Chain A
Amino acid sequence: MIRRIGTLGVLSLVLPLASGGCGDEAGGSGEVQSATAVALLTSGPVSDAGWHAGAYEGLQRIGDSLGLRVSHQQTRTPADFDEAFLSYAEAGYGLIFGHGFEYQDAAERAAKQYPDATFVVSSGARYSDNVVPLIFHLNEAAYLAGIAAGSITRAEVLGMVGGVEIPPVRGTFLAFRAGVEVVRPGATVLETFTGSWDDVSAAKEAAAAQLRRGADVLIHNVDAASFGVFQAVREARAAGRGAWAFGMNRDQNDVAPDVIVGSAVIDVPAVFLQVARQWRSGTLAGPLHSGLESGTVDFVPNPLLPGIVPAAAEARIASARQEIADGRLQVPEIRYLEDEEAGDGGSSGGRGRAQPSG
């Protein structure tokens, strides 16, 4: 909203800084060829070493591997979503990622105005000819993390710290809880939402409250605020308690290698690259599913902390991974993709897994 009052000198001086400016190559140089330019919108800083960072790495990989022109912009308010989509489409960007289900409505509006551009919405709910949702079955990896977590808890109390209670987050927490119950049926799994993806001190305090409540294994689904969760676990360990953390969304094992046992990971760079390849060859049609089956979602143990998860649990994780990939084991999930038959471009085979294949 504030951006609209652009005539004031003070704003035009400072606001270019406010758009999060990192590696933005969109600036000014006019029209670009639509088949060669890819843009990414994130609603938070890409320096979160997590959800947004993965998308940024995906964009870079598209640029490096396919030689396409790439641009990233951080949007701060929902009012910015439309503006950013439209300005990229207007500037000739042919493939525009909105990394988060919050972009759904704005993507659909922009898609109607720019039918030649393709809009990809991570965790999107609906699709059409040029709106493609990416469905990450991260709950499958969270389930495996739950088995690992359940196998290492001594207190039989575990904790989950979330930002805002949106369906993709609820899905990962539901599956984590189910994974814990496989190995520790009576365990307590606490759940706290802080209302913010970035508020490190709130996440740290939420984690500390769970640790005080007796939890000794924590997982999160926040963005940059995850640093606060890891710090709370570090402090608990420094105070002589046995406590561990799990990473989420991206391989965070190296973010806090001393406390993270493993991460539930989406290989966003691989998915983005596949999307860009399909888009270039004209075969991109949504929705695109990523799960254990395609190898683009997985639970990745921290190689620097070997032996924390007992061998029996590792075997259990391996067999569960196989069963899920084969479709023999259904992991609890929160469905956020609306009925696929209802989409007007639903050519990709109903509920079946239309895997992106490079």
Chain B
Amino acid sequence: MAETAVMASFLTAAVGLAVPLALAALGETVSERAGVINIGIEGSVICGALGGALGSLAAGPYVGLAGGATAGCAAALVFAVFAVHLNTDQIITGAAVALGSLGFTGAVFQSRFGATGVALELETVPAWEVPLLSHIPIAGPALFHGAATVYLVYLLVPALWWFLFRTRWGLALRAVGEAPEAAQAAGLPVKATRTLAVLFGGLLGGLAGAHLSLVHTGTFSENMSAGKGFVAIAIVVLGRWDPRGVLAAALFFGCAEALQFALQAMDVDLPYPLLLALPYVLSLAALAGWFGRSRAPAALALPWPKRPG
């Protein structure tokens, strides 16, 4: 009996830690399928966390979620203007957006709440319990007693898979990411497609941040994204640019993180950095192709139109 309780709370922690990673990584998947690697997704996450906090303070947690999504989108818009329309280097632009967002959110937070900070106590998004399913032993409470963001992930995974691989729009988006010249020759609006994909990624990144502040912690602090946007990029690789794989990889990261907290709380004397590093090692292995073939979209991170010389 005690073991099932331990397992259940471990799974709850794992799902809680996996959801923001999954949201950001699903958004990044769409962006990368369109040929744009946006490491500025980290910026969308922190902007989403602050947007969520401010929205929740103003008008409650659901407005907060909307505010988070909007703020994440806004950070992605900055990225899209430079990286898609002005054709700047995607990696450098993304890094600038990520760093800029960390600084910007810090400045806003400090100007609103004082330089030395306060521990906000935010109204959190209530958890919905799915009848029957939430009573499944062990996994039920973890999977079917969560906030709206949890169920959004469940909906997004099949929806995005269907969109990417079973619709003409999805085919067009992938064509833009694989061969933008050919796509343009076929009459597809490359820049518009990429912009929309980046904005959608920013929207989900913002929701990931809002989940951090409004679901998981109920508070905000500077830098609370703590690299989760960068982790999401690793998850996209591990999940092989497929929403189903991305969900599995995000759950794996969530489990690994929850496991290391559980082990430390049980006084298991393992060097904690080893456990922290495990998911990244696996991502490298995935990149190296140890888990079967995995190929990035052919035009990923390449300038378009091609720069002369």
Contact = CB atoms under 8 A, between A and B. Distances in A.
Interface string A1-40: 0100100111101111111111100000000000000000
Contacts of B113: 47
Contacts of A159: 265
Nearest to B118: A49
Contacts of A20: 103, 106
A76 interface: yes
B221 interface: yes
A2 B119 contact: no
A53 B116 CA distance: 5
A152 B281 CA distance: 43
B223 interface: yes
A18 B100 contact: yes
Contacts of B162: none
B266 interface: yes
Contact of B261 (A46, A198, A209, A227): A209
Given A15-B96, A56-B115, A209-B13, A204 B217 contact: yes
B147 interface: no
A230 B119 contact: yes
Interface string B71-101: 0000000100010001011001101110110
B115 A201 contact: no
B261 A10 contact: no
B219 A47 contact: no
Contact of A190 (B219, B221, B264): B264
A209 B264 contact: yes
A47 B117 contact: yes
A202 B20 CA distance: 12
B236 interface: no
B92 A193 contact: no
A199 interface: yes
A296 B267 CA distance: 34
Contacts of B115: 22-23, 46-47, 53, 56
A354 to B, nearest CB: 29
Nearest to A76: B99
A42 to B, nearest CB: 11
B34 interface: no
B217 A228 contact: yes
A198 B134 CA distance: 33
Nearest to A195: B276
Nearest to A199: B226
B221 A47 contact: yes
B107 A21 contact: yes
A18 B100 CA distance: 5
A91 interface: no
Contact of A17 (B93, B103, B117, B216): B103
A230 to B, nearest CB: 6
B217 A227 contact: yes
A191 B103 CA distance: 32
B188 interface: no
What range describes how many residues of B lie at the interface?
35 or more
B265 A212 contact: yes
Given A47-B106, A206-B261, A234 B221 contact: no
Nearest to A164: B273
Interface string A206-243: 10111011010000000011111011001100000000
B161 interface: no
A213 B226 contact: no
A4 to B, nearest CB: 11
Which of A20, A56, A76, A226 is the most central at the interface, judged by chain B CB atoms within 10 Å of its CB? A20
B212 interface: yes
Contacts of A235: 218
B95 A2 contact: yes
Contacts of B226: 196, 198-202
A208 B272 contact: no
B9 interface: yes
B218 A15 contact: no
Nearest to A203: B217
Nearest to A208: B13
B257 interface: yes
A90 interface: no
Contacts of A255: 118-119
Contacts of A23: 115
B99 A209 contact: no
Contact of B264 (A5, A44, A193): A193
B222 A11 contact: no
A156 interface: no
A74 to B, nearest CB: 8
B258 A19 contact: no
A278 interface: no
B282 interface: no
B67 interface: no
A227 B107 contact: no
B238 interface: no
B224 interface: yes
Interface of B: 6, 9, 13, 16-17, 20, 78, 82, 86, 88-89, 92-93, 95-97, 99-100, 102-104, 106-107, 109-110, 113-121, 212, 216-224, 226-227, 257-258, 261-262, 264-267, 272-273, 276
29 contacts: A2-B96, A10-B88, A10-B93, A11-B92, A14-B97, A17-B107, A18-B99, A19-B103, A21-B107, A22-B106, A22-B110, A46-B115, A47-B221, A48-B116, A48-B222, A53-B115, A57-B116, A159-B265, A190-B264, A198-B226, A199-B224, A212-B6, A212-B265, A213-B265, A225-B224, A227-B119, A227-B219, A228-B219, A256-B121
Given A188-B267, A208-B261, 11 more contacts: A16-B103, A18-B100, A19-B103, A21-B106, A57-B116, A190-B265, A196-B227, A198-B224, A200-B221, A201-B216, A235-B218
Top 8 A-B pairs, shortest CB-CB distance: A47-B117, A14-B100, A199-B226, A45-B222, A18-B99, A53-B116, A224-B221, A17-B103
